[in-house]
Amino acid sequence: MTDIATNVQSVMKTIRNAAVQAGRVPESVQLVAVTKYVEAERVREAIIAGISVCGENRLQEAQAKMETIGTYPGLTWHFIGGLQRRKLKSIVGQFALIHSVDSLEHIEEIHRRAEEQQRPQSILLQVNVGNEATKGGFSPAQLLEVLPGIGKFSHVKVCGLMAIPPKTEEPEAMRLYFRTLNTLADKGNALHIPGMELKELSMGMSNDYAVAIQEGATMVRIGSALFGDRPQ
């Protein structure tokens, strides 16, 4: 079995080192533990070892784990998987942050559900930085076009951007994509949309998160480096 506590400390050390090398404060990078297909008790081990944010891809799996694990001081859950409109009713309000908002239709539905609950929902906008036909997300050009209109949704708090670049085994090949997302955030902020600040950049996974941090990631989504290999 994977020594989860050792892995948590190893990943946190890598995050600290990468941040310092980039001239950043280590605390500016948040570790999101990707807990998809990880049993609740192993997730609990990670929480006890220092994980404070768990990211789930599937609603039913997340709900079951939340119920089993219960509450811990400072523990929050993020939704990082693909969105379906019919499931947003259950996602909104249950997760501190939704990383994977990839369409205006979803933004409208999130706003409607959050308004019903009378509390705003924090989200990240997913950008298809590799322009891949098989992936969702706003294209870089489309993002800058739609941002001003998104500002009108009073119960949606856009906190930043998220990306899943094209898959490769070479971390250095991801640098351009990470830099693209950072640049897009700068361009979005230059629009000075009232109430919107793109502070968060969710990018980087187990094989490339050090490079992502060097390019400005504020959240890294780590699964296998913490829990070992799992089904895809």
Domain limits of the chain?
A: 4-227
pLDDT tens readout for residues 31-49 = 999 999 999 999 999 999 9
pLDDT at 224 over 90: yes
What mean pLDDT do residues 58-69 have? 97
Q: What is the pLDDT, as a whole number, of residue 169?
A: 85
Q: What is the pLDDT, as a whole number, of residue 133?
A: 86
Distance CA 184, CA 161 (A): 9
pLDDT tens readout for residues 133-192 = 888 899 999 999 999 999 899 999 999 999 999 988 899 999 999 999 999 999 999 999
Distance CA 186, CA 170 (A): 26
164: which DSSP letter? -
DSSP secondary structure string for all residues of 200-216: EEE---TTTHHHHHHTT
Q: What is the pLDDT, as a whole number, of residue 83?
A: 96
Instruction: Assign domain 4-227 to a CATH class.
Output: alpha beta
Q: What is the pLDDT, as a whole number, of residue 102?
A: 96
Q: What is the pLDDT, as a whole number, of residue 184?
A: 98
> In this structure, are residues 70 and 51 in contact, taking their beta carbons and an 8 Å threshold?
no
pLDDT tens readout for residues 199-209 = 999 999 999 99
pLDDT tens readout for residues 153-164 = 999 999 999 999
pLDDT at 118 over 70: yes
The residues pairing with 101 across neighbouring beta strands, listed in sequence order, are 125
Task: Report CA dihedral (202, 71, 63, 7) to the nearest 10 degrees.
Answer: 50
Residue 167: how many CB atoms within 10 A of its CB? 10
138: which DSSP letter? B
Cα 145 to Cα 67, 87, 149, distances in angstroms: 40, 27, 8
Q: What is the pLDDT, as a whole number, of residue 217?
A: 98
pLDDT at 93 over 90: yes
Distance CA 128, CA 80 (A): 15
At 231, the pLDDT band (50, 70, 90 cuts) reads low
Q: What is the pLDDT, as a whole number, of residue 229?
A: 83
